[in-house]
Amino acid sequence: MQRLPIVLCLGFGLIIGTGASLAVAQPSPDITVRQDDNRTLKEYRVNGELYAIEIVPRQGASYFLIDDDGDGNFKRRDAARVEVPDWVTGDE
């Protein structure tokens, strides 16, 4: 009977430890801000690689242009924030 609490504690410890190791910190991007007449452009770079541009219009909702695979083709994404793609960090 005394083994059950020990086994449960060890099991919870493994679950918590595994979950913590799965959380990988995203690199902090360098953000360059440029002002235009009708909008603000925010360029997001990691290791010098441009992977996202946030467009913030004077009126309306902001959106991102994202290069998902490093080919230079940016696609629009309506989102509050973006993750750094794997091709930028080398985690492919």
Q: How far is CA 79 from the centre of its chain?
A: 12
Note the pLDDT of residue 27.
Answer: 84
Q: In angstroms, rounded to a whole number, what is the distance separating the alpha carbons of residues 38 and 45?
A: 23
Distance CA(38)–CA(1), nearest Å, equals 71
H helices of the chain, in order, are 3-22, 86-89
The tens digit of pLDDT for each residue in 55-81 reads: 999 999 999 999 999 999 999 999 888
Sheet holding 63-66, edge to edge: 30-35, 39-46, 49-57, 63-66, 75-77
Provide the mean pLDDT of the chain: 83
